[in-house]
Amino acid sequence: MSAPAMVGRREFLKTGAAVGGGLLVSWSMPLGVAGAGAGKAGAAENQVALNAFVRIGTDESVTVISSHSEMGQGIYTSLPMLLNEELEADWSKIRVEAAPVDKVYNHPLFAMQMTGGSTTTPGEWEHYRKMGALARTMLVSAAAQEWKVDAASCQVDKGVVLHRTTGKRATYGSLATAASRITPPAEVKLKDAKSFTLIGKSTRRLDTPSKTNGSAQFGLDVSLPGMLTAVVARPPVFGGKVAKVDASDALKVPGVKAVEQVESGVAVIAERFWPAKVGRDKLVVEWDLGPNAGLSTEQMLRDFAEQAKTPGTVAKKAGDPESALKSAAKTLTAEYDVPYLAHAMMEPLNCVVDLRANSCEIWTGTQFETVDRARAAEVAGLAPEKVQIHTTLLGGGFGRRANPASDFVREAVQVAKVAKAPVKVVWTREDDLKGGWYRPMWHDRFAAGLDANGEPVAWTHTIVGQSIALGTLFESFLIKNGVDDASVEGAADLLYGIPNMQVDLHSPKIGVPVQWWRSVGHSHTGFAVEAFLDEVAHAGGKDPYELRRKLLANQPRMLAVLELAAQKANWGAKLPPGVGRGIAGHFSFDSYVAQVVEASVGKDGAVRVHRVVCAVDCGTVINPDTVKAQMEGGIVFGLTAALKTEITLKDGKVEQSNFHDYQMLRIFESPKIEVYIVPSSANPTGVGEPGVPPVAPALTNAIFAVTGKRVRRLPIRASDLAEA
């Protein structure tokens, strides 16, 4: 972007932030990085900003500024739907553009600009509607002033202001400049739900056309004049350092411009990707492996199991679980294990940096703009305001692109410092899978006590696994009384009515970087809790669905999704021979999800998932088809974790490298999925993540139903299920 355009954007931000005075700005963004849609939306057109979230063009185009990243979850459609519910422009004229980094675009629930935690719709639900309503008010006022009529006597319809008695009409585009000079009211009344015309109606995504013809611009697709491309050789063990580099062969590769040491390793900087990659293959690096060279996940499994036998920090206590266990008619215990997992977004990490003496521009698909900007500024030695981030489309995020240390952004700025030219740092698939920041490995140890009727009266759950927040800037915010909420979510807030319960936690410090991964702590608690509850039901001679119903007597919303899923899946009806049915429910990100899985197991132990029935209550639904898509995607994501993936370490080294040994679920393994949405008028709650947690336990419960074998360790191993 040219310097004047940068200034224009900053000016706009200053003014737009106040929502008060609008500003006429001329936009000259580089084609293609303007956001979704045709890639050219909003480029080089005279547009009027009515506030920081919407601009109206003289051509009647309406550009909605998305303060959140589009990573597949459909937010580039849902946010414009919210805004336009009140603005009432012609939907076919709506375009969407990624916001620059600025305080005005901070998440309403957090003091930073970010996308994650399934919080965008809940956080923006009122905000984007209000921005639309304010803009509409300004447009109507402008028309009323010009016509010298009472604004209250004007109406709007699809981007036109009308005055019925005089027959006057004016389009938003023709009113925008005058409207931008109007001071918006401090408060504005929003529509009642019964008047919604967009919210709640399945609406085609605005970004789909660009994702079917190759024009959608991801970070990896960004190209700047004179840009170089770099790949970085990183240590084979976390925390390792470069001891010695022999770059002589790398430098002989035609196209390789430089080999430079950076904090994270050795950067090979070339004219293009391929010479950079070939150059890196020819590097001879001697590594000082550091303190983590002995790490082994096999050993950690044993260590975690030992640690779980000792009491941890109490996260939740109700009643007297110790006495209740002692006096129970029957007790049972079980241990569950889940591995480290990589996010494995289809678009490997990448970051483009144009570092100048007094500015730093970054193009990347990120979920964490505020943090990335602060980190980039530190590395660049600039004030944060001198750093601008252009958020591109994300080729998947799943949490990885919300890195608490901004690892891929910091590194790219460091490379830019030594490259002395605009540079794109590209991670290969191997770099991505071996690069850490995994979903933590977890061990869950349970004990339950049943009364004479076979109903659970005591429940204890000891969790062992690394804290994600520890050592990050979120530590004080997320860790309370020694408990990282993300470690116990889904366990300490159980909805089941069990009178005596305790959840405690061990958070071992291990040199493997860990991070939030789609559904975070729920990705292990959902599995362990719902699988163990199935064991409890069987131990007490109860049907697992009926036991859940009983324990959820005081949880009407969870009960409703459970009953809906069971009913749609014909719970209790006969299945073909060899097919088992399992059920699980989980409350996460304030949403209620229940799933029923039908699966069979071959003689060789191979698991086949035939059908998944899913019911969800996520409050008011903005775009029903997006909710369905997120449940479908969450189910495949959860099944991949249940059936396929694990990251293991031996001698400190990650053993997996690409999709042959870190396998994804494929189309021929993907089940039939049915999604049912419970109608609700409650405020919207999370959608991106809650579909993930219930599917693994519903599957292992189905496997138990058909084989009588309990799966207590993910991923499910055929060898554990094969007939002897």
**Binding-site member from 667, 681, 708, 724 for other proteins (CB under 8 A):** 667
CA 239 from chain centre, in angstroms, equals 26
For residues 428 and 591, which CB has a smaller minimum distance to other proteins in the complex? 428
Stretch that binds other proteins, among 144-152, 341-349, 439-447, 493-501 (CB under 8 A): 341-349
Task: Tell me the backbone φ, ψ of residue 54, rounded to 5 degrees.
Answer: -150, 135
Give the integer Cα–Cα distance in Å for 435 and 400.
11
Beta carbons of 476 and 435 less than 8 angstroms apart: no
Least distance between other proteins and beta carbon 348 (Å):
7
State both tokens at 455.
């109903």
Give the integer Cα–Cα distance in Å for 276 and 538.
58
Per-residue contact flags (x/-) with other proteins for residues 9 to 48, judged by CB under 8 A: ----------------------------------------
For residues 254 and 708, which CB has a smaller minimum distance to other proteins in the complex? 254
* Cis? peptide before 715, omega within 30° of 0: yes
For residues 282 and 550, which CB has a smaller minimum distance to other proteins in the complex? 282
Least distance between other proteins and beta carbon 540 (Å):
35
Angle at CA of residue 177, ends 46 and 131, nearest 5°: 95
Stretch that binds other proteins, among 184-192, 438-446, 450-458, 657-665 (CB under 8 A): 657-665
Decide: helix, strand or coil at residue 622: coil
Beta carbons of 712 and 334 less than 8 angstroms apart: yes
Q: 505-524 burial string, b = 16+ CB within 10 Å, else e?
A: bbbeebbbbbbbbbbbbbbb
State both tokens at 219.
């970070």
| Residues whose CB falls within 8 Å of the CB of residue 576, separated by 6 or more in sequence, listed in order | none
For residues 183 and 208, which CB has a smaller minimum distance to other proteins in the complex? 208
Q: What is the DSSP letter of 325?
A: H
Least distance between other proteins and beta carbon 667 (Å):
4
Helices (H), 458-589: 475-478, 485-488, 522-539, 544-551, 556-568
Residue with tokens 């794109």: 424
* 387-391 and 672-677 strand pairing: unpaired
Angle between helices 522-539 and 695-707 in degrees, nearest 10:
30
For residues 393 and 552, which CB has a smaller minimum distance to other proteins in the complex? 393
Least distance between other proteins and beta carbon 271 (Å):
9
Stretch that binds other proteins, among 2-10, 98-106, 302-310, 630-638 (CB under 8 A): 630-638
For residues 436 and 634, which CB has a smaller minimum distance to other proteins in the complex? 634
**Binding-site member from 47, 180, 391, 428 for other proteins (CB under 8 A):** 428
For residues 80 and 184, which CB has a smaller minimum distance to other proteins in the complex? 80
Q: How many residues bind other proteins (CB under 8 A)?
A: 62
For residues 162 and 251, which CB has a smaller minimum distance to other proteins in the complex? 251
For residues 446 and 676, which CB has a smaller minimum distance to other proteins in the complex? 676
Least distance between other proteins and beta carbon 226 (Å):
14
For residues 93 and 401, which CB has a smaller minimum distance to other proteins in the complex? 401
For residues 96 and 315, which CB has a smaller minimum distance to other proteins in the complex? 96
Task: Tell me the backbone φ, ψ of residue 609, rounded to 5 degrees.
Answer: -95, 120
3-state secondary structure 164-185: CCCCEEEEHHHHHHHHCCCCCC
Least distance between other proteins and beta carbon 364 (Å):
14
Residue count (the chain): 724
The candidate with the shortest Cα–Cα distance to 396, out of 520, 518, 512, is 518
Least distance between other proteins and beta carbon 637 (Å):
6
Applying the rule CB under 8 A, the residues between 182 and 221 that interact with other proteins are 204-205, 207-218, 220-221
Indicate whether 625 belongs to the interface with other proteins (CB under 8 A).
Answer: yes
For residues 217 and 707, which CB has a smaller minimum distance to other proteins in the complex? 217
For residues 179 and 631, which CB has a smaller minimum distance to other proteins in the complex? 631
- For residue 582, list its beta bridge partners: 597
Stretch that binds other proteins, among 238-246, 342-350, 533-541, 591-599 (CB under 8 A): 342-350
For residues 275 and 440, which CB has a smaller minimum distance to other proteins in the complex? 275
Applying the rule CB under 8 A, the residues between 444 and 483 that interact with other proteins are none
Give the integer Cα–Cα distance in Å for 66 and 125.
13
| Residues whose CB falls within 8 Å of the CB of residue 167, separated by 6 or more in sequence, listed in order | none
**Binding-site member from 169, 282, 429, 644 for other proteins (CB under 8 A):** 429
- For residue 330, list its beta bridge partners: 450
Stretch that binds other proteins, among 12-20, 309-317, 343-351, 436-444 (CB under 8 A): 343-351
Helices (H), 449-540: 475-478, 485-488, 522-539
**Binding-site member from 161, 315, 345, 533 for other proteins (CB under 8 A):** 345
**Binding-site member from 295, 636, 647, 716 for other proteins (CB under 8 A):** 636
For residues 398 and 704, which CB has a smaller minimum distance to other proteins in the complex? 398
Give the integer Cα–Cα distance in Å for 232 and 639.
32
Indicate whether 346 belongs to the interface with other proteins (CB under 8 A).
Answer: yes
Least distance between other proteins and beta carbon 675 (Å):
10
Q: How many other β-carbons are positioned within 10 Å of the β-carbon of residue 323?
A: 12
Give the integer Cα–Cα distance in Å for 41 and 29.
10
Least distance between other proteins and beta carbon 191 (Å):
26
**Binding-site member from 397, 399, 456, 694 for other proteins (CB under 8 A):** 397
Indicate whether 632 belongs to the interface with other proteins (CB under 8 A).
Answer: yes
Indicate whether 116 belongs to the interface with other proteins (CB under 8 A).
Answer: no
Indicate whether 695 belongs to the interface with other proteins (CB under 8 A).
Answer: no
Residue 444 identity: D
Give the integer Cα–Cα distance in Å for 467 and 490.
15
Indicate whether 659 belongs to the interface with other proteins (CB under 8 A).
Answer: yes
Least distance between other proteins and beta carbon 623 (Å):
9
State both tokens at 277.
């990659």
For residues 398 and 589, which CB has a smaller minimum distance to other proteins in the complex? 398
Decide: helix, strand or coil at residue 104: helix
Q: 658-683 burial string, b = 16+ CB within 10 Å, else e?
A: eeeebbebeeebebebbbbbbebeee
**Binding-site member from 660, 719, 723, 724 for other proteins (CB under 8 A):** 660
Least distance between other proteins and beta carbon 655 (Å):
16
Indicate whether 273 belongs to the interface with other proteins (CB under 8 A).
Answer: yes
**Site residues (CB under 8 A) for other proteins?**
70-74, 204-205, 207-218, 220-221, 223, 229, 254, 272-275, 344-348, 393-398, 426, 428-429, 625, 629, 632-637, 640, 658-660, 664-668, 670, 672-673
